[in-house]
Amino acid sequence: MSGGKSPNPITRDKFDAVLFDLDGVLTATATVHAKCWKIMFDEYLQNLASRKGEPFQPFEIATDYRLYVDGKPRFDGVRDFLRSRGIELPEGTPDDSPHTETVCGLGNRKNELINAVLESDGVESYEGSVALIRQIRGEGIAVAVVTSSQNCDAVLKAAGIGDLFTVKVDGNVIHDQHLSGKPAPDGFLAAAKSLGVDPKRAVVVEDAISGVQAGRNGGFGLVIGVARKGDSEELRNHGADIVVKDLGELLD
């Protein structure tokens, strides 16, 4: 199912809550994140290649971002991508300078870049997503945000939609509670627990491969994939029960 008008599968008799990813599902920030990851990794990879006298292999958004970074906690994304290139760096600490050559330092450099973009350009929300949230809230279905981003509050505030969510499980919560990031289902399970909802009575909405995997791994009642990147089949193959191009397709 993708494109056109689809019957809304989220009904009060079947579900008590819907758990939404943030970037790419609620807000048009996924492409901005991808560009900032590329800037950060290309800076590092160019420097590394120059020091080693080797050819520079750039970070590719179409493959590297999608396979190793998208939807994951920041430092996991750094670690997994570097591992794909056979690069090992010291872990460092979350307080590392953005110019430190550690996993945490590179992750903080990416965060520095995204914060600059948020401040200068602001954030747009997807109209179809906001309309669907208002509709299901009106039917008595609870909603939550579950994201690996540690910028969740800033993004929701910039998009003007922070008041729509009673529960938020973001990268800070994941870190503080020592939860595993996507594709582990921990964040979604924590949100369901906060809402007092059985996972089988909850819906997960995601646009990343790691996110739909998390929904499937958590035994949630329904996993909806949002294919804004033309990746409908991949989302289905990794755990999405339904795939749409925009959540506005599900409006009654």
Tell me which residues are annotated as active site: 21, 23
Rounded-to-integer distance, Cα 215 and Cα 177, Å = 19
For 88, other C-beta atoms within 10 Å of its C-beta total: 10
DSSP 160: T
Amino acid at 9: P
Question: What SS3 state is found at 30?
Answer: helix
Q: Identify the bridge partners of residue 145 per DSSP, sorted by sequence position.
A: 20, 168
Bridge partners of 243?
225
- Altogether, the residues listed in the chain come to a count of 252
Give the pair of three-digit tokens for residue 210.
Answer: 């790691």
Which residues neighbour 165 within 8 Å (Cβ) at sequence distance 6 or greater?
143, 144, 145, 156
Residues 6+ apart with CB under 8 A from 220: 19, 185, 188, 192, 199, 200, 202, 203, 204
Identify which of 157, 147, 169 has the alpha carbon closest to the alpha carbon of residue 33: 147
Cβ 94 vs Cβ 104: under 8 Å: yes
